[in-house]
Amino acid sequence: MASRPNILFVLVDQLGARWLPTYGFTAVSTPHLNRFAGESTVFERAITTSPVCTPYRGCLLSGRYPSQTGMLRNGQSYPADHKSLANYLNDVGYSTHFVGKWHLSGAPQENRWAPPDKRAGFQHFIGWESHHVDHFAGLIWRDDPDEPIEMPGHETDALTDIAMRQLTQAAAGASPFFMLLSYQAPHPPCSPPRAFLQQYESRDLLAEPNIDPAAWFKHEGWKADYDAQRFRELYFGEISHLDAAIGRLLDRLDQLEQRENTLVIFTSDHGEMAGAHGLFGKGVMYEEALHVPLIARAPGQSGGRRTRQLAATVDLLPTMLDFAEGESAGTAEGMSLRSHIDGGAPIEDRIAISEYRDFCTTTQRWKLITRGRTLEPAALYNRVDDPYELRNRLHDPACLAPRRTLNKALQRWHEHAVLPNRNESEHQWHLVST
């Protein structure tokens, strides 16, 4: 392995760990991800630092919490005064590539060009700002100028073709490459090709104890109006279609003989409720929205392993810089996961923090959710004994010790990340709320 490996970071949109066989959900078919997981390190519990698109992406690229960057809502641009992951990797000789959905160039949030000064330092950019509502009518922009290119067929397939060509070009270069490939799938509204949809039709997909069979998904702008069963047929079809695309992508990496020198990370920005607790979408602190897949294959890794190490979005930047032997990101909040990808023992008492409309503090076993963006506890769940979060243990005397532990951790984080940025973050949150 060369001293600085290539890095391929595959980010999918709105895919909860709940809905993958790698995490125990057998109703969905993902043979290519299953194979990849069998060659990689699977983080059994990875938590999104913010269960919504733009704040997550800002956190991914900065290694900082949304309250620290001011990126608390969709439709904001990446702040010019925060060094990005691409900037760090540029500094140590990487060629940096972005392909796909960006959602970091500010308003308007629509299928449009992302101008060069809004691309957080990426040297090569093929993408769009956000919101392909029709997956069979996608547009994409290649670097400059502002001239859209139609993506043929389904967006997931066309984007994979583009990424494979970019991988081929990047692998032929003299520098190691970093590619962030950002799929919009399986973000609703879902329109999978028929071959992937039909395997889920006429099957009962509403088996979990927290599902509300009467939940209804309606979005006029997306021309969506159907029940939870139909939502899951479409959503699961998108997941299986995405799985096939990722299989092609990984095969291309092998064909290019880059597997032994490439760190590959697969994850999602947040999950999807899919009718659980009667909800659809994200933005809440239930497991379906908060728990994301995180699968990492180190350069040269062949055997699979699973780790109990609790991971969070803020860990991803330090992890990639660790592999890249880059300069330390002094402002990053997380820790490198490299030793855990390599099989190191987990830190059992680690606590992760998430923020959006509420704050959430979580461990491997417990989760505390606040009432809005305050320190007032609203719910306490034991996710091991109660994985579907049906029993709020907040006022259970037997749970006083974990409640105190999580409360203290939240207070420390709030004093460190929120209070010093309170004026700016509260202003931005007012924009979210309205």
State the pLDDT at residue 433: 46
Burial grade of 48 (CB within 10 A; 0-12, 13-18, 19 or more):
buried
pLDDT tens for residues 182-233?
Answer: 999 999 999 999 999 999 998 999 999 999 999 999 999 898 999 999 999 9
Q: Of 136-145, 258-267, 409-418, which range is least confident? A: 136-145
Strand 352-355 relative to strand 359-362: parallel, antiparallel, unpaired?
A: antiparallel
Q: Which string of DSSP letters, residue by residue, matches 136-201?
A: TS-EEEESSSS--EEPPS-HHHHHHHHHHHHHHHHHTSSS-EEEEEE--TTSSSP---HHHHTTTT
Q: Residue 397 in 3-state DSSP?
A: helix
Element (H, E) at 228: helix 228-255
pLDDT confidence of 323, banded at 50, 70, 90? very high
- Cβ–Cβ under 8 Å, residues 407 and 395: no
CA distance 121 to 114: 12
| Mean pLDDT of the region 416-421 | 93
| pLDDT score, position 434 | 34
CA distance 329 to 434: 34
305 confidence band (pLDDT: 50, 70, 90): very high
The rounded distance, in Å, linking the Cα atoms of 17 and 272 is: 9
The residue length of the chain stands at: 434
Whether residue 431 is predicted with pLDDT greater than 70 in this model: the reply is: no
8 A C-beta contact, residue 369 and residue 378: yes
Terminal CA-CA length for the chain: 51
Question: What is d(CA 182, CA 290) in angstroms, rounded to the nearest whole number?
Answer: 19
> Do 396 and 379 touch, CB atoms closer than 8 A?
no
CA 168 – CA 155 distance, rounded (Å): 20
Sign of CA dihedral 62, 68, 73, 78: negative
Question: DSSP labels for 25-88?
Answer: -TTS--HHHHHHHHTSEEES-EE-SSSSHHHHHHHHHHSS-HHHHT--STTPBPPTTS--HHHH
d(CA 363, CA 296): 21
Q: Are 193 and 20 in contact (CB under 8 A)?
A: no
User: Per-residue confidence at 1, pLDDT binned at 50, 70, 90?
Assistant: very low
Contact 125, 143 (CB under 8 A): yes
What pLDDT does 426 receive?
Answer: 59
Beta-sheet strands, E only, within 279-335: 291-292, 294-297, 305-307, 311-312
Digit-coded pLDDT (tens) for 364-396: 999 999 999 999 999 999 999 999 999 999 999
Phi, psi (degrees; rounded to nearest 5) at 367 = -145, 130
Q: Between β-strands 139-142 and 124-128, what pairing exists: parallel, antiparallel or unpaired?
A: antiparallel
Backbone angles phi, psi at 350, to 5 degrees: -70, 145
Which residues are CB-neighbours of 363 under 8 A, at least 6 positions away? 310, 349, 350, 351, 352, 402, 405, 406
List of domains in the chain: 6-341 (3.40.720.10), 352-433 (3.30.1120.10)
- Mind listing the pLDDT tens digit for each residue in 72-127? 999 999 999 999 999 999 999 999 999 999 999 999 999 999 999 999 999 999 99
Distance CA 17, CA 430 (A): 31
